[in-house]
Structure 1
Amino acid sequence: MGGDKQGRYVKPDLSLLGTEHVKRYRESGGEVGHIWNGVTALLLTTIGRKSGALRIQPMIYGRDGSDFIVIASKGGSPNHPAWYLNLTSNPSAEIQVKNKIMKVSARVAKGLERERLWDLMTSLWPNYDQYQERTDREIPVVVLTPATF
């Protein structure tokens, strides 16, 4: 998986992060925050599996047809990120891409699809390969499919 990208960790600019990233993205309709460190970012809203509260997380994303692809890396932590656990509990979520808000359904890519999408995402953000090296868990690749009405 992505063998030619090994060792290409690039330290990101962390001046726009977390709640400040969410706030500026929302206020500007994505004019600020959609492009983050040279990649595209969306806002993912999940329902807390314990609290039931809405949780908003800025996420790097890629596209696969009409689907949005995100990676549950948590920087290579041994534990899955809370947003991912929320989606495993309730796969219904919402994303904001620039000024467009849409309902999505989440699923975890497996097998050959996961490999293909992992390669797609590491071509956008090579640091994912290093995050995978930091942990024993297989980092999930999450497919967010927009709802059709």
Structure 2
Amino acid sequence: MADSDAAEIRASRAQWTAQHLATYLESGGAQGHILDLSDVGGRSFTTHCLIRYPGRTSGQRYIKPLIYGNFGGEIVIVASKGGADSHPQWYLNVASGDTLDVQIATQAFEAGWREPEGDERHQVWEYMCHLYPPYITYQQSTSRRIPVVMLNLLRPTTTFNAES
């Protein structure tokens, strides 16, 4: 998929995404954790986390809502960018550091991260495609290998808010 096509999809969902993030933050995670994404090919009970990470050049802190799964006790997020030909900025920022923060519902943690390889990566990818079937189409629409990121929770931290 051309970046411009993926950008059009993201733009059409931008207001929805901004509202989702605001709801998640304003409720402290009591709302926004599970959403119905059946209207876009997903599942009716799709789990979402928030990740918080610094910009690799600006140092500014960003918060991004993402679909997640739990595979073997690790949190899994996917750097799909809707099947665009380039990686999402959040992935490039996370890849430049050792840790990030993740909030799942009302609990937040500092987390380390890794990218699975080989058979493990294949199993994790299949699992995530089961949780959110549009990932299959996203991968088919780009020549880049969509990254799968696994988070291991290190220690609790404070829940996110609009200022963090």
**What is the Cα deviation at residue 15 of structure 1?**
8.4
Aligned counterparts of 1:17 and 1:46: Cα–Cα separation in 2: 21
Candidates 36, 53, 58, aligned match of 1:51? 58
1:27-106 superposed matches below 5 A: 27-36=26-35, 37=37, 38-106=45-113
Superposed CA offset, 1:31-86 (max 9, x none):
32111222000001111111111111000000013210000000000000011001
* TM-score, normalised by the number of residues in structure 2: 0.78
In structure 2, the residue matched to 1:5 is: none
Are 1:141 and 2:132 an aligned pair? no
Asked whether the equivalents of residues 94 and 102 of structure 1 are also in contact (C-alpha less than 8 Å), the reply is yes
In structure 1, the residue matched to 2:19 is: 20
Aligned counterparts of 2:26 and 2:71: Cα–Cα separation in 1: 27
How many pairs does the alignment contain? Answer: 138
Identity over aligned pairs, percent: 38
Structure 2 vs 1, CA of residues 49 and 15 (structure 1 numbering), >3 Å: closer, same or farther? closer
Aligned counterparts of 1:62 and 1:20: Cα–Cα separation in 2: 22
**What is the Cα deviation at residue 19 of structure 1?**
3.0
Amino acid at match of 1:26: L
* TM-score, normalised by the number of residues in structure 1: 0.85
Secondary structure of the 1:147 match is: strand
Asked whether the equivalents of residues 18 and 57 of structure 1 are also in contact (C-alpha less than 8 Å), the reply is no
**What is the Cα deviation at residue 29 of structure 1?**
2.5
Asked whether the equivalents of residues 91 and 107 of structure 1 are also in contact (C-alpha less than 8 Å), the reply is no
Secondary structure of the 2:86 match is: coil
Structure 2 vs 1, CA of residues 15 and 51 (structure 1 numbering), >3 Å: closer, same or farther? closer
Asked whether the equivalents of residues 66 and 146 of structure 1 are also in contact (C-alpha less than 8 Å), the reply is no
Aligned counterparts of 2:74 and 2:153: Cα–Cα separation in 1: 7
Query: Any stretches of 5+ residues in structure 1 without a counterpart?
Result: 1-10
Structure 2 vs 1, CA of residues 103 and 71 (structure 1 numbering), >3 Å: closer, same or farther? same
Query: Any stretches of 5+ residues in structure 2 without a counterpart?
Result: 1-8, 38-44, 157-164
Asked whether the equivalents of residues 44 and 95 of structure 1 are also in contact (C-alpha less than 8 Å), the reply is yes
